Structure 1
Amino acid sequence: MDSVFRKLFFGAIGLFLALPIIVVAGVSVNQKQSLTFPPQGFSLGWYGQIFTDPEWRNALIASLTLAVTSAAVAVAIALPLAWFLWRRIAPWANIFQLLGVAPFTLPPVITALGLLTFWATAGFYGQPWTAAVSHGIFFVTLPLVTLSLGFSSIDRSLVEAAATMGADDRTIFRTVILPLILPYVVSGYAFAFVLSLNEYIVAYMTVGFTMETLPIKIFNALRYGYTPTMASVTILFVATAAVVFGLIARFGDLPKLLGAMSGDDK
């Protein structure tokens, strides 16, 4: 009986957590332009509008471009930093790790205001590339964590053996280290990509209205009334995150990427 009640309890919690997505999904297929649930009629036309309407399509392209670029920037910052922290086991090296996680631990508004002040002072406010750099800095914590886990799982005797055979640091990194941490690089990139795709505050503060991503487009469109296209975009975001994390779970060790210890590590 306890197991039955436990399953019912967790099932009720799962249903409660899924209710907002269920409601939004129902609204996104409304045949009429109304915020009603259950949906009145059924139509996928609002999903098609994301790709056929020029404004929504441009916002989608801007969001994808920003997410792809900023995730690459985040990994480019996190990889050498994690490599440095793994090689330099010293108390003072933790300062660099603290700097790496600081942007993500601060409230997004504080980070966004700091980036806004920096880009405005530097004279680059409103440039699209500043949003990519800002998102890369803001989300660098995610690949830094996954890469740190990847480096910690490496047997240092492999590096020592390669060095004994005459390999320099560059060769060791390319032939030994990189193949071992590649799943962690991919997962860190995926985490940063998904969150960058959904982020609003930092992007809005750094580029304003010069580049309209999908989250910014939704907030701007709300001034003129609600359309089910907004709900369709939300479901598209959820589906993208589910696909990305599903692929990571399918082809990688998701619990280990999230920090769980294996049986040998306990």
Structure 2
Amino acid sequence: MIDWHCHLLPGLDDGSRNLDESLAMGRLLAEAGFTDIYCTPHCLHGAYDNTPRGVRHATSGLQQAFLEHGIPLTLHPGMEYYLDEIMLANLDALQPLGDTRLVLVEAAQQASPEFVKQALFQLLRRKWVPVMAHPERFPLFERSPARETPCGWLRRLWPLRKMSSLPVVPQTEPLTQTLANMGCLFQGNISSFAGWYGPDVTEQARLHLAGGLYDYFGTDAHNPKGLKKTLAAGLDAIAALQAENCRGDGILAKG
């Protein structure tokens, strides 16, 4: 399985504070069955001024530490970009998720739908593929789009797949429909399904999953304590919901 969003790199943002925490998080992820982790520290001007070079260096260093401690995870560099004017002024110098064209972005709570659409359009024009992080946490994306749910939720955790032309049914959420039609992708937080952000976010996550919004899942883990509390519960909830939506075809299978 792949974790597409994780604050695993020590000391770069509000995630892991030191190597010991990163090692503890790595062990939890490996024990849960993950094989690849995208390390995505925040990139927010004035708060977390991370650079692609710095993130790649930190990822390489943590990978070496994992090898030395026998943690069987492959790490990939990435960033979680705050969608603002500063980011848009640096579109030629972004750190995508690994060697893909995927760029993980987070909308501001107060962002307008028009700004989000225009900002993501600019990324698409530069041949980046925006991946909107945890839409279930934002009122901007409330309720579920209606892209049909493909059976087998693990497809969103395994390596990149080619985009398919899924059947389209009537939509009830114009912004997510517009963004999906533009070519934007969406990443759900596993912890959202475990109640980490409260019942309202959990309900939105369930609706988005039922509507087929999510292309990828990530832990969005910031520390070992939170990861240990939510990982198993979140994975189990996603598996149960997907099995229900697909009438049994989405049951988690390990191995």
Compute the TM-score of the two structures, normalised by the length of structure 1: 0.25
Larger Rg: 1
Which has the higher relative contact order, 1 or 2, with Cα contacts under 8 A spaced 6 or more apart? 1
Q: Which has the higher strand share?
A: 2
Compute the TM-score of the two structures, normalised by the length of structure 2: 0.26
